[in-house]
Amino acid sequence: MWCIVYLLCFFMSLFLSLILVPVARKFAIKHNILDQPDDRKIHLEPKPLLGGVAICIAFIVTILINLLILFCCSEIFSLNHLMPNFLLDEVTLIKAVLPKLVVILFSGILILGLGLVDDIHKLSAKTKLMAQIMVALLLISFGIRITLFIENNLISSIITLVWIVGITNAFNLLDNMDGLSAGVAFIASMIFFAIAAFQGQVFTATILLAFAGSIFGFLRYNMYPARIFMGDAGSMFIGYMLAVLTVVSSYYTKSSPTLFPVIMPVLILGVPIFDTIFVLAVRIKNGKPVSEGDKNHFSHRLVNLGMTQKQAVLFIYLITFCVGINALLLCFVNIWGSGVILVQAVCIFVIIVILERIAKRNSDKKS
C-alpha cells in the first residue's frame, strides 16, 4: 500500500517542479539573475538561474503538504478510523523524527540561501566553505551524524562534517554541463530510494522519492540545450540533501552477510566523488587554487574525446547507474561477492582514468 504514497509524493513533487521552474526562469530573466559565459564555462550566452529555488520549493512543499494531511487526519479531525493501518503505524515514528526533519529542511534552506547569494553577488570560496561547515555543525548538534559503529562522538562528528561538506561541494563542481549534476542526483536518489524501500525505511524512502520528483521536473528544462540553470543554490542544495539523507538512512541490517553495506553511499555517489578528487588533484598539481574553475572535469574530457555534450552527460549517467546499481547487491552477498562488486567499481573508475588520459593527450596535441 505504500506504493500509493510513493507515487503520490513523486508526482506531486514532479508536478510542482514542472510548474515552478518556468516561473523561476521568467523571474530570473526579469531581474537579470543570469549565468554569464566566460572562458571557464561552455555555454555561449547568458542563462537564467534560480532553477535550484524551484527544486527546493517543490520538494519542501510536497513534504509539508503530505505531513499536514497526515496529521490533520490523525489528530485534528480524529479520522483515524478512515486511515489505513499502514499509515497509522507510521504516525508515531514520524512524530519522533519530526524535529530532526525540521532541522534538515531548515538547514537545506540555509544552504540554498548561501548558494543564491553566491549566484547573485559571488562569494569567496572561503566564505562558502565556512558557511557550509556551520550548517553541518548545526545538524550534528541535533544528533544527525554518521555512526558506522563508532562510539566516539567526536570522530563520528568529524566524519559527518567531511561527508556533508564534501558531497555538497562535489555536486556543485559536477554542475558543469546541461543536465549533468541534476541527472546524477536523480539516479542516485532513485537508487537510495530502492534501498530504503527494500529495508522498510518507508518515511525516508518517501522523502527520497519526493526529492527525486522535484529534480526530474527540473531536468525537463535543464537537459541540453538548457533553458535554465540550477545555479550554485541548486547544486549545493541537492548535494546537501543527498549527503544528509544518506546520513539518516541505514544500510547495514542484522540480516546483512557483511559490513560492506555501510559503503553503499560512497559507491552510489562515486562519480561526483571521483570527479571532485580528480579535479582538485589536477589543480593542485598545476599550482592553481582549488577554488578556481577550469575545464578539467570528467565531462569536459569526454567532449575532448569527440563526444557531444549530450553524449558525455548520458555516458556519465550510465556510469553512475552501473556503479550505483551494483551497490544494491552488497546487502545480499557474502564477503567474496562484496569483493567482486568493489573490484568492478574500481575497474570502472580505472577505465575513466584511461579515457581522461587519452582526452588530455588529444587536447595537448590540438594545442
Structure-block grid coordinates of residue 352: 575513466
> At residue 283, what is the residue type?
R
pTM score of the predicted model: 0.92
Strand, coil or helix: what is 334? coil
Query: Average pLDDT of the chain?
Result: 87
- pLDDT exceeds cutoff 60 at 79: no
Give the start-to-end residue ranges of the domains of the chain.
Answer: 1-250, 254-367
The DSSP code for 244 is H
Residue 83 pLDDT greater than 60, yes or no: no
Contact 241, 197 (CB under 8 A): no
Q: What is the pLDDT of residue 241?
A: 97
Using pLDDT thresholds of 50, 70 and 90, give the confidence band for residue 80.
low
Contact 251, 148 (CB under 8 A): no
Residue 82 and residue 103 in contact, taking contact as beta carbons nearer than 8 Å:
no
> Collapsing DSSP states into helix, strand and coil, what is residue 40?
coil
The DSSP letter of residue 177 is: S
Q: Looking at the predicted structure, is the pLDDT value of residue 20 above 90?
A: yes
Q: In this structure, what C-alpha cell is assigned to residue 90?
A: 507510521
Please indicate whether residue 295 or residue 235 has the higher confidence score (pLDDT): 235
The answer to whether 139 touches 104, Cβ cutoff 8 Å, is yes
Calculate mean pLDDT across residues 90-98.
78
Sign of the C-alpha dihedral computed for residues 42, 47, 50 and 52 taken in this order: negative
Query: pLDDT tens-digit profile of 234-266?
Result: 999 999 999 999 998 877 766 677 778 888 999
Reported residue count of the chain is: 367
Q: How do residues 141-177 score in pLDDT, each as one tens digit?
A: 998 988 777 778 888 999 999 999 999 999 999 998 9
Residue 78 has pLDDT above 60, yes or no: no
34 three-class SS: strand
The grid cell for 304 is: 575532448
Query: Which stretches does DSSP call E strand in the chain?
Result: 34-35, 47-48
Residue 194: which residues within 8 A CB-CB, separation 6 or more? 328
Task: Determine what percent of the chain is predicted with pLDDT higher than 70.
Answer: 90
Yes or no: say if 205 and 196 are a contact pair by the CB < 8 Å rule.
Answer: yes
The values of phi and psi at residue 307, to 5°, are: -75, 155
- CA–CA–CA angle 293, 294, 298 (5° rounding): 115
